[in-house]
Amino acid sequence: MGNQQILLIILGMIIVGVAVTVAIILVNENAVTANRDAIAADLLNLSVKAQQYYNTPSSMAGGGHTYIGLTADAAGMLRLVSPAFSNNGNGVYTIRTAGTTSQVVIEGLGNVELSDGSFPTISCVIRPGNATVTIEN
């Protein structure tokens, strides 16, 4: 085999290696983006549940126009959703800041590892009539 053929084989192997590396990076970034989107959708679903809790009278196991019953523990989450939802295929959801008369903060921790070893973290501040989703990591 001539030198030119060997150089072409080596060049071809380098190009294939770079292409595979770029493809792996793009797939990982796509997985992270998809996980963040799924967490945000779940948080918006939880915000609807929190709004329902807020608007339900306290005599019917609701908040009676407060978020106070939504405590920052498993019992607070159980007022909104089942344990299966609060730990699903997209991530783990917890109440970060216990409910007050005017707001509650729910956090979602993703299950796809980021390049720095952490996991996507998104929070949702829920107030009467609106919810604000913030990507933290």
In eight-state DSSP terms, residue 86 is: H
pLDDT reported for residue 26: 84
Q: d(Cα 77, Cα 123) in Å, to the nearest integer?
A: 15
pLDDT tens, position by position, for the chain (137 residues)? 688 899 999 999 999 999 999 988 888 888 999 999 999 999 999 999 999 999 999 999 899 999 999 999 999 999 999 998 999 999 999 999 999 999 999 999 999 999 899 999 999 999 999 999 999 98
In this prediction the pTM is: 0.82
| Domain-wise residue ranges, the chain | 3-135
Question: Facing residues of 94 across strands?
Answer: 107
Q: Which two tokens stand for residue 63?
A: 């908040």
In eight-state DSSP terms, residue 80 is: T
Extract the runs of DSSP E, i.e. beta strands, from 24-85: none
- Do residues 93 and 126 lie in contact, with contact meaning Cβ atoms separated by under 8 Å? no
pLDDT reported for residue 3: 86
- Do residues 103 and 126 lie in contact, with contact meaning Cβ atoms separated by under 8 Å? yes
Q: d(Cα 96, Cα 93) in Å, to the nearest integer?
A: 9
